Amino acid sequence: MTTTWPGPISAITIFVDDLPAALEFYDRAFGLPRHWEDESSAVYNFGNTLINVLVSSQAPELIEPRPVAPESAGSRVQFTLSVDDVDATAAGLAARNVALLNGPVDRPWGIRTAAFADPAGHVWEIAGPIAGA
């Protein structure tokens, strides 16, 4: 464990209502092996950050007294993955039947992005350099 504050983000837990649908999506979209799993969750290793996909019914014990927001509440987070070629990565996602919400598009802050959502509504963005910039 790190003794400095703040340490690196080592894990992020996201809550989903339909675990089988979420896991099918994560397997298909990212092509990563499941790092760990049980009947309530599965963990994927994104480099130095673990993403724990947890069925919503198990979330209250982690965040009480805060409530678990329903999926219908809308997105409140976006995860960004750095890629070398946004267009090629977007094409690869499309080939795996992952629908983009937007992009690829050049952003005024100097990067090219595209975004997609998992079945629970968590938004993922791919971001990389603008070609020729």
Domain at 89, CATH number:
3.10.180.10
Interval 87-130: pLDDT, tens: 999 999 999 999 999 999 999 999 999 999 999 999 999 999 99
Asked if residue 2 is part of any domain, the answer here is: no
Q: Are residues 86 and 62 in the same domain?
A: no
- Using a pLDDT cut of 70, give the percent of the chain over it: 98
Write out the residue range of the structural domain in which residue 82 sits.
75-133
Q: How would DSSP label each residue in 40-96?
A: SEEEEEETTEEEEEEEGGGSHHHHTTSPPPPGGG----EEEEE-S-HHHHHHHHHHT
